[in-house]
Amino acid sequence: MVENGVGEPYRVEYAADMRVDKYGSGFSRPGQPITDQRQSDYVDHPWNLNNLLVAKNSLMQFPRSRDLSGINIPWLYVGMRYSTFCWHYEDLMLSSINYAHHG
């Protein structure tokens, strides 16, 4: 469909760079009310992206003096079927970590 344009056209919705401290994410944040009991298992989990900046020996501890959206505050991306995320260089040439909650 993408390569040769055959088939019915699709409208694809995608949202990027949404701050998890404002919109939330699939992970609970320490100190945040837990609305779903399944979330309680992940509040302190090391792979909870909200915990990376406070994890022991984490390099993300360096910007502690202020919040840097997309650096020490995770961003949420929402996409539907056929949406894509382009390859790119991250801000400040840092590495990135991603977690697909579903799909």
Place of tokens 């404002």: 22
Tally of domains within the chain: 1
**Inside any domain, residue 39:** yes
- Predicted confidence (pLDDT) per residue in 52-70, tens digit: 777 778 777 666 667 777 7
pLDDT bucket at 49, cuts 50 / 70 / 90: confident
**Amino acid symbol at 14:** Y
d(CA 65, CA 80) in angstroms, rounded, equals 36
- Predicted confidence (pLDDT) per residue in 21-43, tens digit: 777 777 777 667 767 666 677 77
Cβ(77)–Cβ(11) below 8 Å: no
**Inside any domain, residue 73:** yes
**Inside any domain, residue 4:** no
Q: Is the pLDDT of residue 98 over 70?
A: yes
Three-state secondary-structure class, residue 76: strand
Q: Which two tokens stand for residue 49?
A: 């992206």
Domain with 50, as residue range(s), is 14-93
